[in-house]
Chains A and B, each alone.
Chain A
Amino acid sequence: MAEHPTHETAHAGAHASKGTYWLIALVLGILTLLEVAVFYVPLLHSVIVPILLVLSSAKFALVAMFFMHLKFDKPILTTLFAGGLVVATAIILSMMLLFGTIGPGAHM
């Protein structure tokens, strides 16, 4: 990959404001509280997996978009990160399928 000298601060890019960061942290705290609450509510145990997956995905996306600045940075970085996540998800699903944790004959 060709490299061109430039000043590093020229690549800082647009970031969110301090207020946005505090707001994101508040939302992350609330989502964590909701996750723990769902865990302790017996009524929700039949749907606990999809609820928790949605809540943790939301937390993951918020941290990646705002704290890791993917929302404001070059799209190539999002592509790079998404590529790693897709492979990781494929590994997880394949292994679970192979070991019978999910799919036909699952015994969880």
Chain B
Amino acid sequence: MDAHATTFGVPSRKMAMWVFIASECMFFGSLIATYLSYEGKSLVGPTPREILNIPLTSVSTFVLLMSSLAMVLALEAVQTGNRRGARMWLGAVVVLGGLFLAGQVYEFREFYHEGLTLQQNLFGATFFVLTGFHGAHVTVGVIWMVTLLVMSLRGQLGPERSLDVEVAGLYWHFVDVVWIVIFTVVYLIQ
């Protein structure tokens, strides 16, 4: 399969993904700005200090970081024609991404039972919108990884398709770096 290089010498699809990522920086920047602007301004509880589960989120953060390692190893395996390695590492990304999402669903459920909803207070509204949008991005990423895994299992993901995996990887790593910021800003700096 032929790709097209831009005048910068970068394949078009890769350049498009980076432009998308730059726009996503502004999108998440706006959501983080909204969260920080309203931080500490809720008139009723629960507050972040009362409700956030740091041990659980720390484990989730570690899981997402390790999924980035699996992603980069999957790309390396595809580029070198290591089909078994590609399947193993893409499978690992799917499992780790799924674990992260399961942790988020558990967290949201717990918060709901403790009285924190989207309408409860400013913290609930800004927290659920920010982390919810991030979770939606992870969900899209997991679906993307599943499609790559299926392609790999069908023997359709050779070195000639490495750009497909690289572009998907860029998206996945971006979702990871956004979580690095959210974990610090929302969970640790209260």
Residues of A within 8 A of B (CB): 1-9, 11-12, 15, 18, 21-22, 24-25, 28-29, 32, 35-36, 38-39, 48-49, 52-53, 55-56, 59-60, 63-64, 66-68, 73-74, 76-77, 80-81, 83-85, 87-89, 91-92, 94-96, 98-99, 101, 107-108
Contact = CB atoms under 8 A, between A and B. Distances in A.
B22 A81 contact: yes
24 contacts: A4-B7, A6-B4, A8-B11, A15-B76, A18-B76, A22-B69, A25-B69, A29-B62, A32-B65, A35-B188, A38-B188, A60-B177, A60-B180, A63-B180, A68-B174, A80-B19, A80-B22, A81-B18, A83-B22, A84-B24, A88-B32, A92-B36, A96-B37, A101-B39
Q: Of B8, B18, B30, which is in contact with the most chain A CB atoms at under 10 Å from its CB?
A: B18
Nearest to A77: B18
Contacts of A5: 2-5
A83 B18 CA distance: 11
Contact of A84 (B14, B26, B61, B173): B26
